[in-house]
Amino acid sequence: MDRADAIRLLKALAAAGMDIYAPRANVWIEEKALEIGLEGNQFVGALTYAGNEGWLVDAPRRGWTFLTGAGKAIAER
């Protein structure tokens, strides 16, 4: 289920304007997850899965995250 939730999250983030050129605040990412019904362990599982796959990576600025090219490709499927 984590994979499906991670893909749903990536699609929601991309649809909301997240791209590979500018990181977004983790709070913004959590808000988008809540909008699609991901909360608690579901959100954590999706985020962990996306991170382990290299679809989302930490930005140099603490509390911010980048969507990677691989993540963008998954979101566009």
For residue 24, the model assigns a pLDDT of 95
For residue 65, the model assigns a pLDDT of 96
For residue 7, the model assigns a pLDDT of 97
Structural domain 2-75, CATH architecture: Orthogonal Bundle (1.10)
Maximum CA extent, the chain: 30
Residue 12: count other Cβ atoms within 10 Å of its Cβ: 18
Domain ranges of the chain: 2-75
Indicate whether this model's pTM tops 0.75.
yes
Which residue is listed with tokens 């090219």? 69
pLDDT per residue, tens digit, the chain (77 aa), is: 899 999 999 999 999 999 899 899 999 999 999 999 999 999 999 999 999 999 999 999 999 999 999 999 999 98
